[in-house]
Amino acid sequence: MKSRLFIFLAILALALSACVSLAEDITPPPDHVAPTPRPTMEPIWPKDTPNAANGASIFAEKCTPCHGETGLGDGVDSAKLPNPAAPIGSAAIAVQASPADWYLAVTEGNLEALMPPFASLSDSERWDVVAYAYSLSISDEEIATGEKIFQSQCAECHGEDGQGGTSPTDFSDQSFMATRSAAALADIIINGNDYGMDAHNAELDDAEIFALTSYIRSFTFDLIPAEVVETNATPEVATEASAEETAETTPVAESTDEGQEQAETTSESDVEGLGTITGTVINGSTGGELPEGLIILLEAYDHDQVSGGFNQVFTLETALDADGSYLFKDVESPEGRAFLANIIKDDITYSSQPNFVTEGSTTLDLPIVYYETSTDASKLSIERLHIFFEPPNAELGIMQMVEVFVISNPTVFAIAPAEEGKAVIELDLPEGATNIQFEDGVFGERYTQTKDGFGDTAAILPGAGIHEIIVFFEMPYKRSLDFTQTINYSIDSAIVMSPQGLKIKSDFLQESGEREAQGLIYNTFSSQPLPIGATFEMEISGKVSSSATGADPSAEQNMIYGALALGIVLIGAGIWFYLRERNEDDDYEEEEIDDDDDAVEYNDADNLMDAIIALDDAYRSGDMEKEVYKKRRAALKAQLKELV
């Protein structure tokens, strides 16, 4: 059986090959050594009011090539992507994203969407360009309508300036508003909440509700009405003005007693090699109180220049203070070390953005957003469904496939299982799928098996494209295959990739170009949005063409540079990919593994992956004890990391 490693590397290479050509901010380091750490991550809410006028020139320079002048995804470079750039200027898209979502996308990039990180921008510049992006879909008339509604129906409780009045909610609080999308605010307006907010679904229509959310956004953003966006200065003229304004608005720490104490504390531990790790925790669901007894787990990681991964060095724990802050003093902090802060509550992990020690820094800030839980999964959606076909195996009469579900949670609650062991989300696979396996778990643990597919028991945190599931399976293939898959959750777009030569027929798909990876040329297709209950159908036939073999002599070199770019993105994105892999075997990789007769050393990644698959099959069939399975799988995964 062909190894799943081939198709997994193909997915990675396809993403990276385009990323390299687009990411001007991603440059392979000299001599292919370890990547340079990114700048220190700022808090995930703005220190000052983001100014859309300042962001206009940045958007024109950095974003227009892909997203277009009006943000509708029609930039000149958009056609070069496997899928068009997101139409962030569309109100339908903008209302689903919180400012923090877009700020993180600008800061860290989005490999899945082939968007590079923009580390060259300062923190205030990133927030300014986010404000401008929101301005693309908000009109002056809409804000005026929202203001009238707010003053007549909301000001009595929330105050004329939105700062609270008799309500505990402060719409001018950047930390509160940064995590709220317009859709999340609208949901509270329509349905009310448990904190005294009445439902207004009978009083306001949809247009009025979203006009109200736009006006509420103006409490924390200096927006530019959409009508005047086209009259903004050209990038050359605006850049100079933006630089001056940015200099005037550079965040400066306020001189408060608390800040003075912090400075004194830092200076006390300002010893070479030692640093201070601080942070605050906010309730991202209600802005209210946090649960009692929260423990902060601080993890330290060093970059392994040989493997390219990250090795955990140590962990520290401390209790969260009553004011929502925490402090770790005299922490070993050599340059380049990465720190990550976590809270584990009810088996859900809430993490900070990772932060890296840079030259001369002695203090790192790791803010964490905690979310209350809900079991209502009805508002979850699939941002994208990627479907990849591996070349068919004529001898076995099968085709291996992989589907990648990229899931969004537009609410302000972590969607959790209704009870232990129950799935948060259940998804169907194509009819006839067999030998179902996952990139980061097995049935009986994270995943549950259903009649037509699988369920995922992992909680889904708020955010766009925040949750990813990669599932491998096989389909019978004898020169043709009828692919039929029921859609359980609305899907923004399905992306299909198949080796050149295979014929794909579907009323749902349109051709979107070719991509090369792992020596093969892939045809790509994309769909329009798929609603809940739809049946996604394709007819696949033929065999891989002999001309599908890539002839570009630079393809291998592009993949090498792509891997280097990935290393930088891993740094910029906060070592998420690596840290995600540790979850399954965290408790076992630290243990000493006995050198018995079964401990086989592999020098070939394909054979190693086949060994892991065979081990999974043995465990699922009941032929192996769980403890033995976990230990052997950890050993095999450790070998695989060394090989790839």
In this structure, how many other beta carbons lie within 10 angstroms of the beta carbon of residue 507? 7
Q: pLDDT exceeding 70 applies to what percent of the chain?
A: 67
* CATH number listed for the domain at residues 48-138+224-248: 1.10.760
In this structure, how many other beta carbons lie within 10 angstroms of the beta carbon of residue 532? 12
Q: Is the dihedral of CA 171, 177, 182, 186 positive or negative?
A: negative
Radius of gyration of the CA atoms of the chain, in A: 25
Lowest-confidence segment of 17-26, 104-113, 160-169, 177-186 by average pLDDT:
17-26
**Banded model confidence at residue 281, pLDDT cuts 50, 70, 90:** very high
Angle, nearest 10°, between helix axes 99-108 and 123-135? 130
Residues 482-507, mean pLDDT to the nearest whole number: 91
pLDDT at 505: 93
Asked whether the predicted pLDDT for residue 126 surpasses 80, the reply is yes
Q: CATH number of 379-551: 3.40.50, 2.60.40, 1.10.3470, 1.10.760?
A: 2.60.40
What distance in Å separates the CA atoms of residue 28 and residue 35, rounded to the nearest whole number? Answer: 8
Going by C-alpha positions, the residue among 178, 109, 193 that lies closest to residue 465 is 109
pLDDT at 155: 82
Q: Is the dihedral of CA 618, 619, 625, 630 positive or negative?
A: positive
Burial class of residue 489, CB neighbours in 10 A (0-12, 13-18, 19+)? buried
pLDDT digits 0-9 by tens, 154-200: 888 888 887 766 666 778 888 888 888 888 888 878 777 655 566 66
What distance in Å separates the CA atoms of residue 263 and residue 269, rounded to the nearest whole number? Answer: 10
Pure H helices in 192-297: 206-217, 235-248, 257-268
C-beta separation of 467 from 460 below 8 A: yes
pLDDT digits 0-9 by tens, 538-587: 999 988 876 555 444 333 333 333 333 333 333 333 343 334 444 434 44
pLDDT at 559: 32
Q: pLDDT exceeding 90 applies to what percent of the chain?
A: 27
pLDDT at 40: 38
pLDDT at 111: 57
Domain ranges of the chain: 48-138+224-248, 140-217, 379-551, 591-643
Question: What is the pTM assigned to this prediction?
Answer: 0.55
Q: Regarding the domain delimited by 140-217, which CATH topology (the fold level of the hierarchy) does it fall under?
A: Cytochrome Bc1 Complex; Chain D, domain 2 (1.10.760)
What distance in Å separates the CA atoms of residue 484 and residue 614, rounded to the nearest whole number? Answer: 28
pLDDT digits 0-9 by tens, 28-53: 333 333 333 333 344 467 888 899 88
| Residue listed under structure tokens 């008799």 | 166
**Identical topology for domains 48-138+224-248 and 379-551:** no
What distance in Å separates the CA atoms of residue 501 and residue 515, rounded to the nearest whole number? Answer: 13
Quote the DSSP letter at residue 107.
H
453-456: strand order across its sheet: 425-428, 453-456, 447-449
Asked whether the predicted pLDDT for residue 5 surpasses 50, the reply is no
pLDDT digits 0-9 by tens, 343-390: 999 999 999 888 888 888 889 999 999 999 999 999 999 988 999 888
pLDDT at 307: 57
